[in-house]
């Protein structure tokens, strides 16, 4: 796995929370960018989707995104805090990733159940 969970759970308002760290040997960093390793946006969104699915114990995939903002670069070994709050519609979430109390990424996403083959 290219990232590791330090902790996961739910806060007092039933929002999903997780603390993760990125693996310095991740292939994401090797190709993005040489001599300036940066975690790509798609990897950040995948990490949020995986975290929501893990805590809800559901097989979910990303269906759509809105209001996505990327504000800070993620480097190998950074410790990240993920917060995901359920929206008004089923499988809709607002999320935020922070690192050292600085916002890294935020937005809204809609997930869809993965149908069994």
Which residue, 99, 87, 7, is CA-closest to 44?
99
- Count of domains for the chain: 1
Cβ atoms of residues 39 and 24 within 8 Å: no
pLDDT tens readout for residues 54-93: 999 999 999 999 999 999 999 999 999 999 999 999 899 9
pLDDT at 116: 57
Whether residue 25 lies inside any domain: the answer is yes
Q: What is the CATH number of the domain that holds 56?
A: 3.10.129.10
Which of the four pLDDT bands, split at 50, 70 and 90, describes residue 104?
A: very high
Give strand ranges (E) for 35-91. 60-70, 79-86
Q: From the CA atom positions of the chain, what is the Rg in Å?
A: 14
Residue 74 maps to a domain: yes
Distance CA 52, CA 92 (A): 11
**Average pLDDT value for residue range 9-36:** 89
Q: Are 56 and 113 contacting, i.e. CB atoms less than 8 angstroms apart?
A: no
Query: Domain span at residue 66?
Result: 3-112
């Amino acid at each position: 796995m290219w990232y590791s969970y330090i902790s996961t759970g739910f806060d007092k308002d039933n929002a999903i929370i997780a603390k993760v760290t990125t693996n310095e040997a991740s292939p994401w960093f090797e190709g993005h960018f040489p001599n300036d390793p940066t975690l790509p946006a798609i990897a950040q969104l995948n990490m949020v989707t995986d975290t929501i699915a893990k805590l809800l114990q559901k097989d979910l995939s990303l269906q759509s995104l809105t209001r996505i903002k990327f504000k800070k670069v993620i480097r190998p070994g950074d410790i990240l805090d993920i917060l995901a709050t359920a929206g008004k519609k089923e499988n809709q979430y607002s999320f935020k990733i922070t690192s050292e109390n600085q916002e890294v990424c935020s937005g809204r996403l809609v997930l869809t159940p993965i149908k069994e083959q």
